[in-house]
Structure 1
Amino acid sequence: METYFSFAAIALAVVYMPGPGTLKSITNAINFGLRGSIVGISGLTLGVCAVAVFSATSLGILLVSSPKAFNIVSYCGAAYLLYLGIKLWFTRRQDQAISVELTFKKRRVFGEGILLQFSNPNAILFFFSIFPHFIKPEENYVMQFSVLVGIFSLAFICAHSTYAFLAYKAKNLFLGHHRHWLDKINAILFVLLAFYLAWSTSV
């Protein structure tokens, strides 16, 4: 049990660090309200679970051990972040207002959350490197792995729900013209994250 508490502490420290997923949750909360942010967080959480499972498979081992494969995934991830930034930059405010009043396209928001988790292969490295320290060889591997993934997912949901709730409460500060500039700032942050990921891959 002490092992799981130690992992939970690490998980909380990791998930509360701002990143692409955090930015996405904040953007969803501001543009689509709490309902939209919940759908987005659900997609992000499912993506986290998928990345964790992927890291535990032979494909994850191949990705970590093959610099070429890792670089390809990294560049694809950077391209996806760049796409999100460009799309947000050119999104019309009146179109977003309509989507909030009618529907915010749940499948799109959910799908973007899943894909976003695969945009940074460093997440695979994290699970690949941290999980072995908390898994005891003499005990059931599947059970331990499932518990660790569950703990990380709960911590992830708590962190992103916190960011989304705070963003939702503060969204009145970004109405009208100011909200337009907030979209621009978020778009720039996505683009900067894309270039940072591409740069860190090439170094």
Structure 2
Amino acid sequence: MFELAPILTYIAVVIGLFLIPGPAVLLVITRTLQGGRKAGIATGLGIATGDLIHTLCAALGLSAILMTSATAFNVIKTVGACYLIYLGVRAFLARPGATSQKHLPSVTSGQAFLQAVGAEVLNPKTALFFLAFLPQFVHPESGSSLTQFAVLGLIFSALSAVYTSLISIAIRPLSQCFASLSKLRRWEGKIIGTLFMGLGLKIAFQQR
């Protein structure tokens, strides 16, 4: 179906895109600092799952609606932004502990995964990215377009999961250092909440 050279080119381009820090990377770092390595890895897997959903939408042509309908784009953008801002407000308003042993409640791996899926799926910019990017590597003469989309999406999601997992593992020492500073821990909720609200505002003001 695919020749080796185009696949290697695709992988190289995807890795290059990952090296440009974006909201997904910030989300993984934030969750790792908040809930530890498992939560960070779960967040990365959630983002990868959201990417798979976007791949399916692109393959079925559903994402084209976002390209042609300003209303649909704005609705999904607003829902996604509100979701992230909601998570940020919850963290921001969480009561700081009175001692260094009390801190912002960490999220479970399951919560981190589901919230990451929701954040990624509700980001219309991601939908438009897949709609514009994947077709560059799909060639009808090479077989089923749907199958090609699926393979490309699986490769992208697998690389994304590996990349975000490595970030989560690498950021762990910083998380331990962060947790050992009691003064900073009093501001933990404010910092994490601000990061989430910042992500939400970024989506809210992005253009098609």
The alignment's TM-score, normalised by the length of structure 1, stands at 0.85
CA distance in 2, matches of 1:90, 1:113: 20
- Confirm or deny that 1:197 pairs with 2:190: no
Contact 1:29–1:167 under 8 Å retained in 2: yes
Alignment of 1:124-135 (within 5 A): 124-135=127-138
Deviation for aligned residue 1:55? 2.0
Change (3 A) 1:33 1:96: farther
Quote the residue 2:164 is aligned against: 160
CA distance in 2, matches of 1:144, 1:40: 26
Deviation for aligned residue 1:160? 0.9
- Confirm or deny that 1:16 pairs with 2:22: no
CA distance in 2, matches of 1:31, 1:58: 37
CA distance in 1, matches of 2:190, 2:154: 35
- Confirm or deny that 1:39 pairs with 2:42: yes
Contact 2:92–2:193 under 8 Å retained in 1: yes
CA distance in 1, matches of 2:201, 2:37: 30
Identity of aligned residues (%): 27
Deviation for aligned residue 1:98? 8.8
SS in 1 for 2:37: helix
Quote the residue 2:177 is aligned against: 173
Alignment of 1:5-154 (within 5 A): 5-94=8-97, 104-140=107-143, 141-154=145-158
Change (3 A) 1:180 1:24: farther
Change (3 A) 1:198 1:36: closer
Deviation for aligned residue 1:2? 1.2
Higher helix proportion, which one?
Answer: 1
Deviation for aligned residue 1:112? 0.2
Deviation for aligned residue 1:82? 1.0
Change (3 A) 1:106 1:166: closer
- Structure 2 gaps of 5+ residues are none
Q: How many residues align?
A: 199
CA distance in 2, matches of 1:96, 1:107: 22
- Confirm or deny that 1:187 pairs with 2:193: yes
RMSD between aligned residues: 2.4
SS in 1 for 2:142: coil
CA distance in 1, matches of 2:137, 2:32: 34
- Structure 1 residue identity aligned to 2:146: V
- Deviation readout 1:11-59 (Å, 9 max, x if unpaired): 1122333333222211222222222222222222111111111122232
The alignment's TM-score, normalised by the length of structure 2, stands at 0.84
- Deviation readout 1:102-142 (Å, 9 max, x if unpaired): xx434322210110102321111111011111111111223
SS in 2 for 1:200: coil
CA distance in 2, matches of 1:106, 1:161: 13
- Deviation readout 1:57-111 (Å, 9 max, x if unpaired): 23211222111111111111111121121122123455975956xxx43432221
Which of 109-118 and 136-145 deviates more? Answer: 136-145
